[in-house]
Amino acid sequence: MALLSAFADEISQDFDEQLAVLVETGVTHVELRGVWGKNVLKLTPREIRDVRAAADAEGIGFSAIGSPLGKFPLAGDFSEQLEGVRRALEYAQVLEAPYIRLFSYHIPKGDDAADHRTQVMDWLGQLSAEAEQTDIVLAHENESGIYGDTGARCLDLIETLGSDSFTTIFDFSNYAVGGEDLLANWESLKDHT
C-alpha cells in the first residue's frame, strides 16, 4: 500500500500549521524540507527534536528528509556535502525517516554532462558510503540541469554506484519538462524507484 506523504512547507513555514493541515486532510507522513523559514539541514539538533516531538503528538510520521544535497556546483567544496549528508543521516535517524532526497549536482551551463560523470559518481559514491553505515537510503530526484536529469543517466547512477543505500525518485513532471519518454524511463527505472 502506498504511503501518503507531503512537502508541508508548501502549506506554511509554521510547523504547527503544517501539522494541523496534515491531520485535517488525513495525510499521515511528511517529507520534511523546511520549517520556520529554514531548510531542514539548517535546523539545530534541538529544533529537530522539537519537530519530532510535535509530529509525534499529532500522530504524523516522516517519510523522508527533503534535503538540498546535490543542488551544488561541481566546482564547490565537497566537504560541505559530506558534512551535509552526515547531518541529514543524523536527523533522519532522529525522525525515523527511511529516506533522504538528494540530487546529482549542477552541470555547468554549456557543458556536456558526460564530461562530469567521473566527479558526480565519485561524490555520490562518497555520500552513499556514508549512508551505507546506517539503514537510511539516499533517494535521487531527477531534475533539470543536474547530471541525473535523464532516465538514461539515472539508470547510470544506479548501475555505477551499485549501492543498496541509493535509489531513485521518479519525478514524472521533471522528465516531461526535459522532453523525456516517460514510459521508457519508467520501464528502465521502475525496479530502482
Q: Which of 128, 182, 177, 189 is CA-nearest to residue 153?
A: 189
Cβ within 8 Å of residue 81, ≥6 positions away:
69, 70, 72, 123, 127
How many CB atoms are located within 10 Å of the residue 187 CB? 11
* This prediction's pTM: 0.95
Q: Answer whether 89's CB lies under 8 Å from 100's CB.
A: yes
pLDDT digits (tens, 9 = 90+) for 121-149: 999 999 999 999 999 999 999 999 999 99
Element (H, E) at 29: strand 29-32
Over residues 51-110, the pLDDT tens digits come to 999 999 999 999 999 999 999 999 999 999 999 999 999 999 999 999 999 999 999 999
Distance separating alpha carbons of residues 105 and 85, to the nearest angstrom: 14
